[in-house]
Amino acid sequence: MMKKRFLLGAAALILSFSMIGCSSSQGSSSKEDKSLEAIKQKGEFVVGLDDTFAPMGFRDEKGEIVGLDIDLAKEVAKRMGVKAVFKPVEWDGIIMSLNNEDIDLIWNGLSITEKRKEQINYSSPYMLDGQAIIVKGNSSIKSKKDLKGKIVALQMGSTSEDAVQKEPEVLNSFKELKKYGNYAEALMDLQIGRVDAVVIDEMVGRYYMTKKPGVYTVLDEGFEAQEMGIGFRKSDISFKNEVNKILDEMKADGTAKKISEKWLGKDLIEK
């Protein structure tokens, strides 16, 4: 009788462990990353961007959002079988918008930094961009040392701000560091003389310089160069991996190169 009870107890114990294991397995599968599946079911991904950030993403004369990153995102969406939707967001709050699921990714000349890696994941790097100093065409400023006693502008929350802070001797030499909501406002104040220089992504600075010959010039000396990537939520691994795969295909077949040449006049896509 005791043996029978022992066997029944052992069987019950094995069954309970089995059920726990099953429950645990179901729990882990429920947490499985389904970000790519969710995007495909939705039929679109929402790109957060600063819509004044030419040539990466900005509004043309008709008010349409265009640019280098816009073309890349549209091509990735097409190959994924979904639509790319573009949503302007205040840049200094864009990571919060991503993690709050107001947008699905950040694709807007986003530099890869250790600070941002604490909050988001990145795609593989696809471009390299330096932090340039842009001044008026007739400016006496020729190098960083000439910024002493000057009013210098940059975009709030941008990589330009990070780059300047990494050179405290230069930063402390400024008369004032003015922070703007976007580069367009900063460059407008540069043109009318409210600021003496703007620290800006090099590609953006050179784009504006070509659009307004003689008005602006980019100094030979600038701040650190950084790689650009696409920002994803840390949980969205499958979505990120699919975008990486498609970008690799676009690099291999020359599509990414053509898009870079269209907007920058040269191929700056990282292989």
Band the pLDDT of 31: cuts 50, 70, 90: low
Does residue 142 form part of some domain? Answer: yes
Residues 185 and 239 reside in one and the same domain = no
pLDDT at 248 over 80: yes
Residues 142 and 219 reside in one and the same domain = yes
Q: Give the H or E element holding residue 217.
A: strand 216-218
Band the pLDDT of 21: cuts 50, 70, 90: very low
Residues 114 and 235 reside in one and the same domain = yes
Digit-coded pLDDT (tens) for 153-196: 999 988 899 899 999 999 999 999 999 998 889 999 999 999 99
Residues 218 and 233 reside in one and the same domain = no
Residues 222 and 164 reside in one and the same domain = yes
- 250 is in which domain, residue-wise? 35-126+229-264
Given this model, what pLDDT does residue 39 score? 98
In whole angstroms, give the CA distance from residue 177 to residue 164.
Answer: 10
Residues 144 and 209 reside in one and the same domain = yes
Given this model, what pLDDT does residue 18 score? 47
Q: What's the mean per-residue pLDDT of the chain?
A: 88
Q: What are phi and psi of 18, to 5 degrees?
A: -65, -40
| Token representation of residue 90 | 């205040």
Residues 87 and 215 reside in one and the same domain = no
According to DSSP, the β-strands at 223-228 and 121-122 are unpaired
Does residue 1 form part of some domain? Answer: no
Does residue 185 form part of some domain? Answer: yes
Does residue 20 form part of some domain? Answer: no
Given this model, what pLDDT does residue 112 score? 92
Give the CA angle between residues 205, 148, 152 to the nearest 5°: 35
Percent pLDDT > 70 in the chain is 89
Does residue 245 form part of some domain? Answer: yes
Does residue 15 form part of some domain? Answer: no
Given this model, what pLDDT does residue 264 score? 84
Does residue 79 form part of some domain? Answer: yes
Residues 162 and 207 reside in one and the same domain = yes
Does residue 201 form part of some domain? Answer: yes
224, 164 contact by CB (below 8 A): no
Number of domains in the chain: 2
**If you search the block for the tokens 């330096």, which residue do you land on?**
130
Residues 79 and 151 reside in one and the same domain = no
Residues 113 and 155 reside in one and the same domain = no
Q: Mean pLDDT check: name the lowest of 15-19, 47-51, 211-215.
A: 15-19
Residues 160 and 208 reside in one and the same domain = yes
Which residue type sits at 221? E
- Give me the CATH number covering residue 144: 3.40.190.10
Residues 142 and 68 reside in one and the same domain = no
